[in-house]
A and B are shown apart, each in its own frame.
Chain A
Amino acid sequence: MALIKVTIDGIETQVEEGTSILNAARSIGGKIVPPAMCYYSSLKGSGGKCRTCLVKVTQGSEKDPRPMPKLVASCSTNVMDGMVVENTASQDVIDARKSIVEMLLVNHPLDCPVCDQAGECSLQDLSYEHGLSTTRYEFERRKFDPIDIGDHIKLHMNRCILCYRCLMVGDQLTNEREHGIIGRGDHAEISTYLEKSVDNEFSGNVIDVCPVGALTDRTFRFKSRVWFSKPLNAHRECTTDKCSGKSVLWMSDNDVLRVTARKDQNNEVKEFICNTCRFDKKDVKDWVIEGPAHISRDSVISQNHYELPITHKYKALENTAKPQ
């Protein structure tokens, strides 16, 4: 595949043809990566819905150097040879992102003190960086009662930003999707018809892909705040087909409070895990512990998180781990 040249915020890079601007920016990394609430690289067809990744294209390509007339969604626009893109360098982009955060928060209840996602929530990070500290919205926000989707998942429709990621997990990871979006526009909501439970072996992954606290783990509900538990990388031999068995255990002392899949630097899961690993293996002895999970220093949950080699305490536990 031919490599083409693209400049993002003054940094030049070469990417393959057919790469989106967002992925080109991610290949550079750092502050210039546009935030994304709906795009998920491991889910086909995701992106283009939330508009947080809007960027300005100041030069379309080498051959046609005219700028693009409007801001474009970087997750669904492909790069051209010689394209010049401005993300944080452009005031237009920063202003647009501010308005988009405001739009996303129009119906958001801002119940972060109650929400289990607080501390690892993309919307929280986004609004902290780009949002206003006040709201101009005067009308009543739409309200739904929390629903239990099956034994393990809780749906708080109030917090949903309609990114459609969880539907793609349903379509692409499992054989049969059991939930969908009903209604249109302001009335759109995630639902399982007649509150039918979602019980698929991979349904738990909707918790990880959800950028906000709309889908949360019922087995972890109100157990602990994210920043009080210690994340450890661990793996186990899982017999479920397609399950990687690689996960993060969120520990408090020697108790496993919850199990999640591993997220990369873009906050995305590449290797999904099955529900057995996620919900049923809540004993350290089920797992082979590798060491503390990496948490970015910028993250709010990095406080009191030390990435030291495995302590003797966990080593001792590892030796007693039973082979599965």
Chain B
Amino acid sequence: MQSLTNRSKIVSNKKMTFSESIYLVAILKGMFITIQHFFKKKVTLDYPKMKKPVVANYRGQHILKRDDQGAERCTACGLCAVACPAEAITMVAAERKKGEENLYREEKYASMYEINMLRCIFCGLCEEACPKEAIFLTDMIVSPDQQRDKFIYGKDILVEKMEKRYDTSKRQKHLLEK
């Protein structure tokens, strides 16, 4: 049979010599390769102690931003949900009552906002569609879990915490340049 490449080797049935049959040389050769790797640079990272640097427009877990006064920016306009190709986003809107002006920026807000992280393909279209600069993708990685229903992230996870604000200025700059 004609070989497809010229790299194929012809297998022979020849008998091994005595020095070959004790495998000493072969074992030493193999160990040498193994020991060589001790002195090479590691390819793995000690995650989560060490993290790989990511680009400015890395698309990880979403965040719902608050404005400078701490009011939620999202107004439940539904453009992210309609832009989402995976249909991962659902929301329920509610009307802001008097006295809640410091909680929600607009007269309408999302009383329920859910992203199904198993459906999400992290394409970033929600971020592009958002007219209120409320939703952003971040460099945070969605944490693994064993139950599927834990991946439906509600407002408790998505909305930015006041004590742990997330800086999106780099990201915004990147989006503007595009």
- Chain A residues in contact with chain B, CB under 8 A? 111-114, 118, 146, 221-225, 227-228, 303
A227 touches B77 (CB 8 A): no
**0/1 string, B120-160, CB within 8 A of A gives 1:** 00000000000110000000000000000000000000000
A222 touches B108 (CB 8 A): yes
A222-B93, A222-B94, A222-B95 known; A114 and B78 CB under 8 Å?
no
Shortest CB-to-CB span from A73 to chain B, Å, is 33
Distance between Cα atoms of A228 and B131 in the complex (Å): 18
Distance between Cα atoms of A309 and B145 in the complex (Å): 43
Distance between Cα atoms of A98 and B21 in the complex (Å): 90
- Chain B residues with Cβ under 8 A from A221's Cβ? 95
Shortest CB-to-CB span from B110 to chain A, Å, is 10
B77 touches A114 (CB 8 A): yes
B132 touches A113 (CB 8 A): yes
B82 touches A303 (CB 8 A): yes
A-B contact pairs, 22 of them (CB 8 A): A111-B106, A112-B77, A112-B131, A113-B79, A113-B108, A113-B131, A113-B132, A114-B106, A114-B107, A114-B108, A146-B107, A222-B93, A222-B94, A222-B108, A223-B93, A224-B93, A225-B78, A225-B82, A227-B78, A228-B78, A228-B82, A303-B82
How many interface residues does chain B have, given as a range?
10 to 19
- Chain B residues with Cβ under 8 A from A223's Cβ? 93
- What residue of chain A has the Cβ atom nearest to residue B74's Cβ? A113
A113 touches B77 (CB 8 A): yes
- What residue of chain B has the Cβ atom nearest to residue A116's Cβ? B108
Shortest CB-to-CB span from A303 to chain B, Å, is 7
Distance between Cα atoms of A112 and B75 in the complex (Å): 10
Distance between Cα atoms of A272 and B111 in the complex (Å): 35
- What residue of chain B has the Cβ atom nearest to residue A225's Cβ? B78
Distance between Cα atoms of A146 and B81 in the complex (Å): 27
Distance between Cα atoms of A111 and B95 in the complex (Å): 14
- What residue of chain A has the Cβ atom nearest to residue B76's Cβ? A222
Distance between Cα atoms of A223 and B75 in the complex (Å): 13
Distance between Cα atoms of A172 and B84 in the complex (Å): 45
B82 touches A114 (CB 8 A): no
5 extra interface residue pairs, beta carbon distance < 8 Å, beyond A146-B107, A222-B95, A303-B82 = A112-B77, A113-B106, A221-B95, A227-B82, A228-B78
- Chain B residues with Cβ under 8 A from A113's Cβ? 75, 77, 79, 106, 108, 131-132
- Chain B residues with Cβ under 8 A from A222's Cβ? 76, 93-95, 108
- What residue of chain A has the Cβ atom nearest to residue B78's Cβ? A225
Shortest CB-to-CB span from A64 to chain B, Å, is 51
B82 touches A118 (CB 8 A): no
- What residue of chain B has the Cβ atom nearest to residue A110's Cβ? B131
- Chain A residues with Cβ under 8 A from B131's Cβ? 112-113
